[in-house]
Amino acid sequence: FVRSGPCPLCGGTGLRREALAVTFAGRSIAELNALPLTDLADVIRPTTQLTEVTPALPTTLSGERTDVAVAITTDLLARIEVLTDLGLGYLGLGRATTTLSPGEMQRLRLATQLRSGLFGVVYVLDEPSAGLHPADAEQLLDVLAQLKRSGNSVFVVEHNMDIVRHADWIVDVGPGAGEGGGHVLYSGAVPGLAAVAASVTRPFLFPDAHA
């Protein structure tokens, strides 16, 4: 007979006792790994503020008051805040990638690119707002704008009109879907689409426009 269960020594974390014995802010690496990103940010934020508002305090048993800890947590917090701004604060570091939706994976890649410092890159994104709460759309727009300001080109296939309205240039393909489409109805600045009566996108983007 075979019975599956968590290891009694590591609790299913896959880490040795020596690694689990090291703590930060009273928590082991396994406990920190299980926290949602918003909670993890709250745990490490006090350490990042030491260099700004208070002198370094004597080293504690956990070591979160050392200069090394301040430097590492400051960089880590900046990375986490990009993810929380993209509406991913509910994810934990231990979350398996196979359980993530395509929208979540795409926003994770966006966050990685934002921190990479690359320029002259062409990004093609397929509905990055998929699964994103409407209240978080502004943060997504800010990330896309940052990529553009860094000297990159961003092409977005999108059905969220809040995102479309902020485009520098829009290409509307139609007039219908599938066999009923395939024609470029409009290519230009967003306001110009209001004059294209054949566009199915038009009434959603300009609900007050006359037919």
Say how far apart CA 101 and CA 106 lie, in whole Å. Answer: 9
pLDDT in tens, 122-134: 999 888 888 777 7
What residue type is 146 in one-letter code? Answer: Q
What token pair was written down for 91? 């994810």
Phi, psi of 154 (to 5 degrees): -120, 115
The count of other CB atoms within 10 Å of the CB of residue 104 is 20
Global pTM exceeds 0.85: no
Query: 48-52, 119-123, 177-181: lowest mean pLDDT where?
Result: 48-52
- Chain centre distance of CA 131: 12
pLDDT in tens, 131-182: 777 777 888 888 889 899 989 999 999 988 989 999 999 999 988 888 888 8
Q: What is the DSSP letter of 207?
A: T
Write the DSSP assignment of 58-111 as a string of letters: PP-SS-TTSHHHHHHHHHHHHHHHHHHHTT-TT-BTT--GGGS-HHHHHHHHHH
- Chain centre distance of CA 82: 6
What residue type is 189 in one-letter code? Answer: A
- Partnered with residue 27 across adjacent β-strands are 24
